[in-house]
Amino acid sequence: MSICDDTLLCNFPKCRAKLSAFAWVTACSHVFCDQHGSEKFSRSPVICPACSSALSGKLDIVRMELSPSEEYKAMVLTGLRPDIVLDISSRALAFWSYQVHQERIYQEYSLSRAESQLKQMEKMLTQQNQSREMELTALKGEIASLKKMMDEYKRNYSEVSEKLMQRNRQYQKLQGLYDSLRMRSMVVGAGGRHTEQQVGHQDYNADNNAGVARHATPQRSPPFLSLGPEGDSRFLSALEADGGKTFFQFSSPGRDKCRPFIRKH
C-alpha cells in the first residue's frame, strides 16, 4: 500500500497497481487486484501468488468491494455483540497494519537494492573514470611524442628544403653556363662554316674563271690545206700545244674540289 494516500496495492510481484472498486483478499493477509485475482484463483489447487500458501478453505479467498455503499455499512455489523464487532474491527485493522508493514519492508528492500545498484554503478563509474584517465594520460603521452616527431619532421623538412633550394640555384647556374657555352660553340661553329664556305666559293669562282678564260681563248686551228705527212704532223703539233689532251676534252671544275665544303651535320 502507499503510505502517503493510504491506498492498498496489488501484492502480485509484477503488478503493484493501486486497488479500486473490487479486490481479492486472502486469509494469509494478501490482497490482489480484480484482474490477477480472477486469473490466479480460478484454478485448483488455489495457491497464494505472494507467499505460495494453500488456500483450500471456503472463506480463505473473498472478493471484497473496497467502496461499499452506505446501506452496506449500516447493515454489515448490525445485531452483532460489541465484542464481535471489536474482534472483526481488530482483525481488519491487523490486516491493514500488515499491509503497511509489508509495504514498508518492500520499500526498504527496494531502497537497499537501489542503493546496492547505485554503489555498483558508482564503482563501475569510478573504474571507468580511472580507465579513461589512464587512456587520457596515454593519449597525452602519444600526443607529446607525436608533437616531438612532428617538430623533428619540420626541422628535417626545412633542412631538406634549404638543400633543395641550394641545388636549384646551383642547377640554374650550371644551366646558364651550359646555355652560354652552347651558344658560344654554336656561334664559333657557324663562323667556321661561313669561313669555309667563303674559301670554297673563292676556289669555285677561281676555277670557274679559269675555265671561262680557257674556253674564251681561241684554239689554234691546224691548217688543213694540205694532206699528207706534213699536214698530219702539224695537226699533232697543235694538239700537243693544247697540253696533250684530246680534241673533245674540255676543262671543267672538278667535283672533288667541292666535296670538302659539304659536311654531314
**Model pLDDT for residues 151-172, shown as the tens digit of each residue:** 999 999 999 999 999 999 999 9
Residue with cell 700537243: 240
- Say what the pLDDT of residue 199 is: 56
- Say what the pLDDT of residue 33 is: 92
- Angle in degrees, CA 172, 178, 184, rounded to 5: 140
- Say what the pLDDT of residue 205 is: 59
74-83: list long-range contacts, CB under 8 Å, 24+ apart.
none
Sheet containing 61-65: order of strands? 31-33, 22-26, 61-65
Instruction: Write the CB contacts of 89 (distance below 8 Å, at least 6 apart in sequence).
Output: none
- Give the pTM: 0.47
Beta 22-26 vs 31-33: how paired, if at all? antiparallel
Tally Cβ neighbours within 10 Å of residue 29.
20
Mean pLDDT by 10 residues, the chain (265 residues): 66 87 91 89 85 86 89 89 93 91 90 94 93 93 94 93 93 92 86 63 58 49 47 50 47 46 44
| Alpha-carbon separation of residue 64 from 12, 20, 59, 118, 142 (angstroms) | 17, 10, 12, 40, 73
3-state secondary structure of 55: coil
